[in-house]
Amino acid sequence: MSQLIELKVPDIGDFAEVPVIEVFIKPGDVVKVDDALVTLESDKATMDVPASAAGVVKEVLVKLGDKIGEGAVVARIEATDSAGVTANSSAPAPSPATTPAPVAAPAPSPAAAPTPATSYTGSVDVDCDLLVLGGGPGGYSAAFRAADLGLNTVIVERYGTLGGVCLNVGCIPSKALLHIAGVMEEVTHLHELGIVELTSAKVSVEKLRDHKTKVVTKLTGGLAGMAKGRKVTQVRGLGTFIDAQHLNVEVTSGDGQKTTGEKKVVRFKQAIIAAGSQAIKLPFMPADPRVVDSTGALELKDVPKRMLVVGGGIIGLEMATVYATLGTQIDVVELGPGLMPGADRDLVKVWEKMNLSRFNRVMLNTKCIAANADNAGVSVQFEGANGAETPAAGSYDRVLVAVGRSPNGNKVGADKAGVIVDERGFIKVDNQMRTNVPNIFAIGDLVGQPMLAHKAVHEGHVAAEVAAGHKRVFDPLQIPSVAYTDPEVAWAGLTEEQCKASGRKFTKAMFPWAASGRAIANGRDEGFTKLLFDADTHRIIGGGIVGTNAGDLIGEVCLAIEMGCDAADMGHTIHPHPTLCESIGLAAEVAEGACTDLPPQKKK
């Protein structure tokens, strides 16, 4: 006898309302367990929602552009006993939280683990207590911590230097370029402050690249020294598991992709998978050097005249900031209804007010549907979504695809070690970062959202300490996000949108930087600081800041959330004056009705 089953969105971490960017099913389709139903796009990555049961689709309840979160019903299917469906296959709807929930979201796993292959009996080149596969921030942090705790540690990395995407071709080089862009932008306003003879800034792309390279070299060189000082053995190459105690390494050279033909085998007692993620490619984009991901954009080969940024999230907008400052005409296309998804709209509006005029076109509710490369440029066609008008096609000298990243879990042979990896490449772990195989841990991008280096570092510390026999769990109340644009946008803990979506009762306090002496003196008083408090306990549950150096300021909000501070704790803390950080204490005073730096508040 058939039955109707609801297919719901599983736990997707610190995201309450995520836009649907693709729908794979329609009524009448047959779906199997773990088939992708829809794709969601957060500020840092895309994620597929898998089917939790098998059957025939009877009704699809979402469409392109809808915002959905955990527990939302995507579709109803008709299943029979022969489809292998159990009565509890649909996920229960979430109930409103009473405390901030941990925001890291391991991906759901298949029902059964693969059987590990027969144990390796060949020769071994390297033997260790702990193997770390991947030398990014999470990987090298895990390796260094394990070595500090006395474990004989080996780290396998395909590139010639440690640091992974973040230090080599991601976070760090992008911030070096964003700093230069910020200085150039500041120069254009100095005449308003009385510096009238200053000539306009001129750019040497070659020197910009040299500066970026020096920054990267200094940091990666420091990591090499720390690894040597800790006696961490580095093995360069592409690592794939042979079984649950052996890893095969194909030695690489050059840019890290070329293999030399030499192979090494590492035997380990325990392992940490820290293999990260890679940029998502759009299948219709031509294989052309003018179509790049964030790594290609950071190479800064030249300054194109016209550039399309596909994806209005943090990575895309940071690169748009750099290239716009250098003189490139920028178009941005975003499938969702707003830029910088994940942040509260009031924060983003301040950024938009200062930045939308920099760009030629910002196309919201719009998707790219086709692209073609010829001698004149890369021609891209668009299509309006959610009832939006279809913009005219454009031709570009550079196209940056920044639509998120996909995990590398399926690229390291983890299944041969018995580790469960889902079809998207995510590896499920517990709160000690342990996989279903007791001696193998996993951390970073490939264990779930959010895909952030600072999350991976803390996960790496937990995994290393557990591997060394210590009692640790990964249970953060918040994981901060920062857009290093101008102005910067930063937030931590719960957002207003998340509170409203979950029914969480909260109070809000804001301190405008127009009342900050330091912000006014800096000539940058467009921002504000916002704090969210639980309506019953009065403890802080979230906060957001928009303005210069917001990413540096948000750390105090992070600590306050983790420590369970209430508004009085924060407001009674003496902050230095005049500073931007005192806006946090002043916002807390607003919550207490005790702020004397603003007009008197109306009594409630």
Q: Which residues are documented as binding site?
A: 175, 239, 311-318, 334, 404, 445, 451-454
Q: Indicate the pairing of strand 153-157 with strand 126-133.
A: parallel
- Count Cα atoms within 13 angstroms, Cβ side, for 578: 10
Strands 73-79 and 55-60: antiparallel
Tell me if 40 sits within 8 A of 21, measured CB to CB. yes
Q: Which residues are annotated as a binding site for NAD(+)?
A: 311-318, 334, 404
The CA distance from 177 to 207, in Å, is 11
Tell which phi-psi region holds residue 78, choosing left (phi > 0), alpha (psi between -120 and 50) or beta.
beta
The answer to whether 131 touches 154, Cβ cutoff 8 Å, is yes
3-state secondary structure of 291: strand
Q: Is the peptide bond before 286 cis (omega within 30 degrees of 0)?
A: no
Dihedral over alpha carbons 571, 540, 453, 398 (to 10 degrees) = -90
Q: What is the tally of helices (H) and strands (E) in the chain? A: 13, 30
How far is the C-alpha of 435 from the C-alpha of 420, rounded, in Å?
8
Look at residue 18 and give its three-state secondary structure. Answer: strand
C-alpha distances out from residue 550 to 409, 486, 518, 580, Å = 33, 10, 14, 9
Q: What tokens were used for 442?
A: 């996993």
Strand order in the sheet with 18-23: 46-50, 36-41, 18-23, 67-68
Q: Which SS3 state, helix, strand or coil, does residue 3 take?
A: strand
Distance CA(128)–CA(147), nearest Å, equals: 11
- Asked whether the beta carbons of 52 and 91 are under 8 A apart, the reply is yes
Residues 326, 203 contacting (CB under 8 angstroms): yes
Q: Which residues pair with 510 in a beta bridge?
A: 530
Q: Identify each DSSP E strand in 146-201 by its residue range.
A: 153-157
Taking the C-alpha atoms of residue 395 and residue 229, their distance in angstroms, rounded to an integer, is 52
Which has the closest alpha carbon to 440: 462, 418, 461?
418
Cis check: omega of the bond before 487, within 30 degrees of 0: yes
Please give the span between the terminal C-alpha atoms of the chain, in angstroms, as a whole number. 59
The rounded distance, in Å, linking the Cα atoms of 203 and 205 is 6
Distance, CA of 131 to CA of 129 (rounded, Å): 7
Structure tokens at 470: 């210590």
Residue found by looking up tokens 């309506």 in the block: 535
- The phi-psi region of residue 9 (left if phi > 0; otherwise alpha if psi is between -120 and 50; otherwise beta) is beta
Active site positions, annotated: 577
Residue 267's CB is within 10 A of a number of other CB atoms, namely 17
Question: Tokens standing for 276?
Answer: 């990260």
